[in-house]
Chains A and B, each alone.
Chain A
Amino acid sequence: MDLKLKLDGLAKSYPGRPVFSKINAEVPAGRKLVITGPNGSGKSTLVKVICGFIRPTKGAVTLHVNGLSLSRIDIRPHIGLVSPDLVLYDELTAFENLSFFAGVAGLQFALSKLEDKLNAIGLEGRGDDLVGSYSSGMKQRLKYCLALLREPSLLLLDEPTANLDDRGKELVDNIIKGHNGIVVIATNESAELEYGDEIVRLG
């Protein structure tokens, strides 16, 4: 698959406060980019810029997929996102959340298929529970299930192991190592820097 993520001279600033500037990177398929830096250095902002939720002050994000150059909103169908800023519906069950997001993304899954996906992420037997009753670690696992639902070519992980126990961290490790697209990880955990084929340091 012809796949490449290009961050070209990205800069973001708010009035009177520069967040980051001159961010350049080229990440082909199968490679991993780690964004690191102290708290408040703009890691999550950079993830949001890549997703197209925030416009950069300068520069551009381009995803090259099979000869097509996609930017901003057109990138979104290729993204799987796990982030503290992404929240699922507490008042719906895990199955309802997954089938809703699959439905609006134009995908259809049988309940048994969704059950398999929940089992794979360590949430067996909890699909009919309201997400509001989940622990923060279970919610994080469900976010992985959603992120992987449409087999994204670009997996964006902001604080990938937040709230997870050791088994959860192992699961994330398998996901990151087994993903054959592009993985972008925003973290300040030193152990997670080892995933990076390329590292962008902010702040």
Chain B
Amino acid sequence: METKSSGSVKRSFAVFQKDIKSELRTRYAINAILLFAVVTVFAVSFAMAKSGGMVAPVLQSSLLWIVIYFSSLSGLAQSFIKEEESKTAIALRLYAPAESVFGGKLLFNLVLLIVMNIITIPLFAIFLNLEIANYPLFFSVVFLGSLAMVGTTTLVAAIISKASVKGALFAVLSFPLLLPVLMMAISGTKKALSPDITFAMARMELQVLGSYLVIMIVLGFFLFDAVWND
């Protein structure tokens, strides 16, 4: 017999699979994200090349998260905006429970951001001479930071999807909510780039990022029903 929670997971996965299939056929979000990410990395690397190519870890980590932040802003809202603009949101509201829609979109946005990171970070490392001193710490910060970013932006995307000035509203609403994530992610990344820094020395950043992502995702599941259905 199917329990309610196993049913919800299955339905969330169905939404996720549908979004992946749609994205592979339309490339609605991935093109926007990748184009923005690649252009920004190149623009930053050209600017840095003029200054001799030597960039301090604090500046490198800040630039990396600025690239991730703005690239994600250009694409993560699309999952909801597309549903509203193509009018498929009505059928989705009629057939899918709200928590399954949120779960599916969250998973889809996470995959999108991971794909973006897989392409952006090596490019960034090559063109900005990124030297990672502590790989486990670096990838933990990137993963937790991305997850916290996705947890926040997925809910904001649902809120702004019915508005007329979506792009501006998305940036305005997301920035204050993402500020703690960006601060901790930049600080954690800087530590991962600095030699002689152990995993334990970045515990505070990891704990804040972990707690923030849990809060945002739980809050998202609680609030999404009202956002989606009203």
Binding site for B on A (CB under 8 A): 51-53, 55, 72-73, 76, 79, 81, 83, 85-92, 96, 100-101, 103-106, 146
Q: Is the CB of A104 within 8 A of B100?
A: yes
Q: Is the CB of B7 within 8 A of A106?
A: yes
Q: Is the CB of B88 within 8 A of A104?
A: no
Q: Is the CB of B96 within 8 A of A105?
A: yes
Q: Is the CB of A87 within 8 A of B25?
A: no
Could you give, for residues 58-96 of chain B, a 1 whenever the CB lies within 8 Å of some chain A CB and a 0 otherwise?
000000000000000000000000000011101111111
B10 at the interface (CB under 8 A from A): yes
Q: Is the CB of A89 within 8 A of B18?
A: yes
B22 at the interface (CB under 8 A from A): yes
> Which 7 interchain pairs have the tightest Cβ spacing?
A104-B96, A87-B87, A103-B14, A91-B25, A105-B95, A101-B95, A104-B11
Q: Pick the contact of B18: A51, A81, A100, A105 (CB < 8 A).
A: A100
B229 at the interface (CB under 8 A from A): yes
Q: Pick the contact of B14: A53, A104, A146 (CB < 8 A).
A: A104
Q: Pick the contact of A73: B17, B22, B229 (CB < 8 A).
A: B229
Beyond A85-B87, A92-B21, list 11 extra A-B contacts (CB 8 Å). Answer: A52-B229, A73-B229, A81-B90, A87-B86, A91-B22, A91-B26, A96-B18, A101-B96, A103-B10, A105-B96, A106-B11
Number of chain B residues close to chain A: CB under 8 A: 26
Interface of chain B, main secondary structure: helix
Task: Enumerate chain B residues within 8 angstroms of A55, measured Cβ to Cβ.
Answer: 230
Could you tell me the distance between the alpha carbons of A90 and B26 in the complex, rounded to whole angstroms? 10
B15 at the interface (CB under 8 A from A): yes
CB distance from A70 to the nearest CB of B (A): 14
Task: Enumerate chain B residues within 8 angstroms of A51, measured Cβ to Cβ.
Answer: 94
Could you tell me the distance between the alpha carbons of A65 and B218 in the complex, rounded to whole angstroms? 33
Q: Is the CB of B90 within 8 A of A104?
A: no
CB distance from A111 to the nearest CB of B (A): 16
Q: Is the CB of A88 within 8 A of B91?
A: yes
Q: Residue among B15, B22, B94 with the most chain A CB within 10 A?
A: B94
Interface pairs (10), CB distance under 8 Å = A55-B230, A76-B94, A88-B88, A91-B25, A100-B18, A101-B91, A103-B14, A104-B14, A104-B96, A104-B100
Task: Enumerate chain A residues within 8 angstroms of B91, measured Cβ to Cβ.
Answer: 81, 86-88, 101, 146
Residue of A nearest to B93 (CB): A53
Residue of A nearest to B18 (CB): A100
Known: A104-B11, A106-B7. A53 touches B90 (CB 8 A): yes
Q: Is the CB of B93 within 8 A of A103?
A: no
Task: Enumerate chain B residues within 8 angstroms of A88, measured Cβ to Cβ.
Answer: 88, 91
Q: Residue among A55, A100, A104 with the most chain B CB within 10 A?
A: A104
Could you tell me the distance between the alpha carbons of A86 and B92 in the complex, rounded to whole angstroms? 9
Could you tell me the distance between the alpha carbons of A87 and B83 in the complex, rounded to whole angstroms? 10
Q: Pick the contact of A86: B14, B25, B26, B87 (CB < 8 A).
A: B87
Residue of A nearest to B14 (CB): A103
Q: Residue among A72, A85, A86 with the most chain B CB within 10 A?
A: A86
Residue of B nearest to A54 (CB): B230
Residue of B nearest to A103 (CB): B14
CB distance from B82 to the nearest CB of A (A): 10
Could you tell me the distance between the alpha carbons of A91 and B21 in the complex, rounded to whole angstroms? 8
Task: Enumerate chain A residues within 8 angstroms of B11, measured Cβ to Cβ.
Answer: 103-104, 106
Known: A100-B14, A103-B11, A103-B14. A89 touches B88 (CB 8 A): yes
Could you tell me the distance between the alpha carbons of A92 and B22 in the complex, rounded to whole angstroms? 7
Could you tell me the distance between the alpha carbons of A100 and B230 in the complex, rounded to whole angstroms? 24
Could you tell me the distance between the alpha carbons of A96 and B96 in the complex, rounded to whole angstroms? 15
Task: Enumerate chain A residues within 8 angstroms of B14, measured Cβ to Cβ.
Answer: 100, 103-104
